[in-house]
């Protein structure tokens, strides 16, 4: 029997601190078309190459006029000629040459042949209804600062400044290693007792969504030599490695023992469940983030622990967004597989399927949807099971870590609780 008595257990905050401390990133940059820059992070300030607008521009569908004709009141326009005394001017288009003021078209009566005009309102001042040259941006002006995540609107703003190309931070390469004799690839036959490697689908989507380049490894069986070889290949080509399974205490779980031998294990487990056997190690200066469980648990543990590492690589804030909300419905109770001390466990004779408490506080991860209450206070509504995993949990907006154990009073309806917003 292998000895797990010296396993290091940490809080979520300690885990993130350890992961970020293990991330010694020196990302490069690349130049991409602005069309392909959405979702990327700027590596250098995007600067305007020209003044915009580059001429006096109409800011609404209008009739262009000369202010001098209106300085002394409404003029007689019966003899006016189109192109000489007035002209059509459209939103966002440069004013016709020689004209300096615009009257919105709703205040103009245009003849059927579009050659004559009369007005029921006069402009308030010279240049009314127009936008001056350079009012949106000047050449040399910083449009978007380095380190900013480029959204569609920001990409359009950068393009408006005459930039067809932008410098962005290279995508972090994230290798995903699924391990376990029980796994079969997606689409393969599933013999009795086997599971589909659906976490590879999950991880590919998460990594791409967060701005990374996924490198999906084939399933590695529970064989120490093969696991070590896969780990060494992964750290040779990736900035971050995600190791799925093999970090728990099963008879075929070798991953952490291997990492203790060839690398450095920062912690073996966290003080929350699901996701109790999440871990972090360092191998050849590369962080190896261990996640456990099927997609339900793997999904939120990657939210917790992989995303901050990717954010650090990209130069983004790694701070989770926490807010206080009011609990609007009772929290579902924990599962039987949780640590000893949950509601329903006998204080002296815990059920055999309950994990013993390993010291300190332990938290159950709940998911909640957020809605504005009638009194304007943001309220939290737990999902049906409360736990990550079921399809209905995808309607949740935030995570709540509910402390449990002997003497711990659970939050009640009406209490203020702190939640962390989902990515």
Model pLDDT, residue 6: 74
Q: Is the pLDDT of residue 404 over 90?
A: no
CA distance 293 to 276: 9
| Domain 57-131, classified CATH 2.170.190.11, yes or no | yes
How confident is residue 355, by pLDDT bands cut at 50, 70 and 90?
low
* Domain topology for 30-49+138-169: Molybdopterin biosynthesis moea protein, domain 2 (3.90.105)
Residue 301 phi/psi, 5-degree rounding, is -70, -30
Q: Is the pLDDT of residue 359 over 80?
A: no
How confident is residue 347, by pLDDT bands cut at 50, 70 and 90?
very low
User: DSSP 3-state assignment of 422?
Assistant: coil
19 contacts 309 by C-beta, under 8 angstroms:
yes
User: Please, what CATH class does the domain formed by 322-421 belong to?
Assistant: mainly beta
Q: Is the pLDDT of residue 317 over 80?
A: yes
Helices 295-313 and 12-22: angle between axes, nearest 10 degrees: 50
Tell me the per-residue pLDDT of 64-109, one tens digit each, with 9 for 90 and over: 999 999 999 999 999 999 999 999 999 999 999 999 999 999 999 9
Instruction: Evaluate whether 30-49+138-169 and 57-131 have a shared fold.
Output: no
Q: Where are the domains of the chain?
A: 9-27+170-313, 30-49+138-169, 57-131, 322-421
CA distance 304 to 227: 25
User: Please, what CATH class does the domain formed by 9-27+170-313 belong to?
Assistant: alpha beta
Tokens of residue 191, six digits: 């013999």
Tell me the per-residue pLDDT of 280-305, one tens digit each, with 9 for 90 and over: 999 999 999 999 877 778 888 999 99
Cα–Cα distances in Å, from 244 out to 19, 104, 238, 292? 16, 63, 16, 6
């Amino acid at each position: 029997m292998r000895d797990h008595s010296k396993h290091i257990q940490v809080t979520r905050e300690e885990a993130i601190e350890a992961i970020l401390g293990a991330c010694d990133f020196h990302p490069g940059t690349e130049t991409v078309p602005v069309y392909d820059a959405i979702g990327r992070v700027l590596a250098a300030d995007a600067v305007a190459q020209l003044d915009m607008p580059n001429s006096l521009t109409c800011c609404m569908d209008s009739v262009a006029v000369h202010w001098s004709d209106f300085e002394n009141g409404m003029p007689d326009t019966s003899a006016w000629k189109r192109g000489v005394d007035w002209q059509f001017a459209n939103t966002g288009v440069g004013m016709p040459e020689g004209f300096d003021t615009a009257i919105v078209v709703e205040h103009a009566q245009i003849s059927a042949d579009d050659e004559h005009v009369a007005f029921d309102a006069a402009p308030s001042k010279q240049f009314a209804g127009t936008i001056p040259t350079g009012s949106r941006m000047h050449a040399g002006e910083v449009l978007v600062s380095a380190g900013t995540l480029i959204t569609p609107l920001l990409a359009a703003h950068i393009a408006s400044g005459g930039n067809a190309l932008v410098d962005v931070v290279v995508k972090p390469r994230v290798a995903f290693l699924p391990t376990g004799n029980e796994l079969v690839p997606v689409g393969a036959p599933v013999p009795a007792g086997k599971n589909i490697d659906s976490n590879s689908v999950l991880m590919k989507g998460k990594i791409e969504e967060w701005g990374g380049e996924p490198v999906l490894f084939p399933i590695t069986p529970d064989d120490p030599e093969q696991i070590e070889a896969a780990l060494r290949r992964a750290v040779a080509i990736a900035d971050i490695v995600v190791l799925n399974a093999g970090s728990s205490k099963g008879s075929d779980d070798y991953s952490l023992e291997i990492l203790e031998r060839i690398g450095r294990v920062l912690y073996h487990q966290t003080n929350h469940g699901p996701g109790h056997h999440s871990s972090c190690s360092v191998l050849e200066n590369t962080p190896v983030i261990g996640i456990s469980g099927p997609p339900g648990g793997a999904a939120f543990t990657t939210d917790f622990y992989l995303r901050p590492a990717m954010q650090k690589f990209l130069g983004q804030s790694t701070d989770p967004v926490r807010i206080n909300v009011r609990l609007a419905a009772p929290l579902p109770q924990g599962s039987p597989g949780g640590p000893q001390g949950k509601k329903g466990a006998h204080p002296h004779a815990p059920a055999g399927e309950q994990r013993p408490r390993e010291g300190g506080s332990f938290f159950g991860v709940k998911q909640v949807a957020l809605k504005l209450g009638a009194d304007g206070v943001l309220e939290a509504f737990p999902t049906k099971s409360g736990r990550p995993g079921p399809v209905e949990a995808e309607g949740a907006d935030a995570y709540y870590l509910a402390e449990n154990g002997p003497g711990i009073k659970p939050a009640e309806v009406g209490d203020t609780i702190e939640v962390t917003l989902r990515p």
